[in-house]
A and B are shown apart, each in its own frame.
Chain A
Amino acid sequence: MWQFFHKLGSPKWFYGIATRFMPWLLASGLLLLAGGLAWGLAFAPADYLQGNSYRIIFIHVPTAFLAQSMYIMMAVAAVVTLVWRMKLADVFVKAVAPVGLVFTFLSLFTGAVWGKPTWGTWWVWDARLTSMLILLFLYGGVIALDRAINDEKSAARAVAVLVLVGVVNIPIIKYSVNWWNTLHQPATFKLTEKPSMPVEMWVPLLLSVLGLYLLFGWLACLRMKTEILVREQKTRWVKDLVMAGRG
């Protein structure tokens, strides 16, 4: 177990394993996402109240879900950076932050587009929407702080502390709809109960979430590989790799 942990810390080993997994992640992710979206957007039944406009849920929920779970993964990586000083954990945070920013923006945007026909407004300052906006700023802050510090090691620690400070926002996003009066409705999916939508609606939704997860895995590997190459450019194995690529 510890050996695996140490191996995971080696950028070279990760580079190899990521290269092997990436085509599978991409293929399965695209397949699931395309299947889930096609099923949800074209074949799932309409809602009794909202008609077809509820279908944006098949994009809104996966992006919002990913935006939050990415932040949790970044927080775990931040703990590893601070406690074990593992380089790869910092590479992960740097590679994922811009992806998280984009996904948070997408979930806010699709939420606004959904809010206009159903609620009658693009935006309202309720707890769920506001805490999600704070998540967007946190991602932006992580990226900016990382760019602002030149020294790689100090940047890694500063960014890790910021990520950990921001992680308290995640339970606030999750439970905002239960703790306070909000315009946003409570979660359709609960851990302990059956989802409050029929099977032919939640299965395509689940497929889209899983597909987006796998695609995110692919994108994270791709971005981490690039970051590793930049950081390890002076090492023997990267030079060999580049020479082999050229030859």
Chain B
Amino acid sequence: MHPIRKKRLTIVLFLVAGIAIAVALTTYALRQNINLFYDPTEIAAGKAPQDVRIRAGGMVEEGSVQRDPESLNVQFRVTDYSASVPVQYEGILPDLFAEGQGVVAMGRLNAEGMFVADQVLAKHDENYMPPEVAESLERAEKRKADAEKAAQSASY
């Protein structure tokens, strides 16, 4: 390669490497602000501030959704399977909201550790499948659970 071109290429490489390092350090320093939401584990560890608008995200715990029949009030627990946070919300939930599905709630954490949400967004994962496949997967899981239960009761 021509020496001048070699020199230019070196300058270009230094330019890109320098910017990459600068951006990497900046985003690393700001990582807590870039995160859209706090996990239940972080909230349980007291990393989330109280009485400040924050977002909490995780899975809706199975069997935790309690709807008030008189109003739009709903309570559920958001979990990441190592810790969970109780959430209270009044309003219309998105269509994809369901037990076992991901959500991101926006609101404030009060002194009792209850997360009072004013907005609940549904989060979905990267898996797509036809409804029949999902159903047969569910059936297979149920069969497995039933078989395990049967085996357990047989052993007693």
Contact = CB atoms under 8 A, between A and B. Distances in A.
A120 B122 contact: yes
A210 interface: no
Contacts of B73: none
A13 interface: no
Contacts of B94: 118-120
A197 B127 CA distance: 6
Given A47-B129, A188-B128, A127 B34 contact: yes
A180 B101 CA distance: 19
A165 interface: yes
Interface residues of B, number: 42
B124 A165 contact: no
A168 interface: yes
Interface string A146-172: 000000000000000100110110001
**How big is chain A's contact interface, by range?**
35 or more
A218 B137 CA distance: 44
Interface string A37-73: 0000000011111100010010000000000000000
A182 interface: yes
Given A83-B9, A196-B128, A168 B16 contact: yes
Chain A CB count within 10 A is highest, among B5, B8, B31, B127, for: B127
Contacts of B35: 127, 180-181
B39 interface: yes
Contact of B5 (A46, A84, A183, A196): A84
Nearest to A189: B126
Contacts of B127: 188, 196-197
Interface in A171-186: 172, 179-183, 185-186
Nearest to B1: A83
Contact of B130 (A48, A180, A182): A48
Contact of A46 (B20, B123, B131): B131
Interface of A: 45-50, 54, 57, 79, 82-84, 117-121, 124-127, 161, 164-165, 167-168, 172, 179-183, 185-188, 196-198, 200-201
17 contacts: A45-B132, A49-B134, A57-B128, A83-B12, A119-B94, A120-B94, A120-B96, A120-B120, A124-B121, A125-B36, A181-B37, A181-B57, A183-B123, A185-B123, A185-B126, A196-B126, A197-B127
